[in-house]
Amino acid sequence: MEPITELDARYSAEGATATEWARARDTLEHAQTFWLATVRSDGSPHVTTLLAVWQDGTLYFCTGAGEQKARNLESNQHCTLTTGTNSLEEGLDVVVEGVAERVTDTGRLKRLADAYGDKYGSDWRFEVGDDAFLNSGGDRALVFAVAPAKAFGFRKGDFSQTRWRFQRR
């Protein structure tokens, strides 16, 4: 399902047009790194970089159960994933807001493990077991899915800010 696309003229160059969702989706699919923002139990922010894969309209990431981001998501599943460039003159930054939900289905985890290996190479190949990814040392990594509720695109060069709103069933 395609999102509702809106240009925010307040933060866009004169005559700018909205960025098509297809371009943002391509950015999400091919980005190597993402920044994940979560909220600690005391309300303070936590931001960290991680790897993620885009599959079936959803971003997926994994983390150890004891890591700060996993602990944060236990009490507040709302999060933001961001990717893009650090250039002012070119590129597209994409921000995805949503709710992180644990993935425990074995078939889905196997497809995601394959997607990680395909995207990031042999160092990022996981086995699946115990409702999670297992690395080569047997350590368990929880897998989370973030379906976009809202996303923003910040296009550089010809500056435009686009908002995409998603309607979920």
Bridge pairing between strands 140-155 and 92-103: antiparallel
pLDDT value at residue 72: 98
pLDDT value at residue 169: 55
Q: Mean pLDDT over all residues of the chain?
A: 95
pLDDT value at residue 26: 97
pTM of the model: 0.95
Contacts of 96 (CB under 8 A, 6+ apart): 28, 59, 80, 81, 82, 146, 148, 150, 151
- 24-78 pLDDT, tens digit each: 999 999 999 999 999 999 999 999 999 999 999 999 999 999 999 999 999 999 9
pLDDT class of 137 with cuts at 50, 70, 90? confident
Say how far apart CA 79 and CA 48 lie, in whole Å.
12
pLDDT value at residue 1: 73
Class of the CATH-defined domain 4-165: mainly beta
Instruction: Give me the count of residues in the chain.
Output: 169
pLDDT value at residue 139: 87
* Domain positions in the chain: 4-165
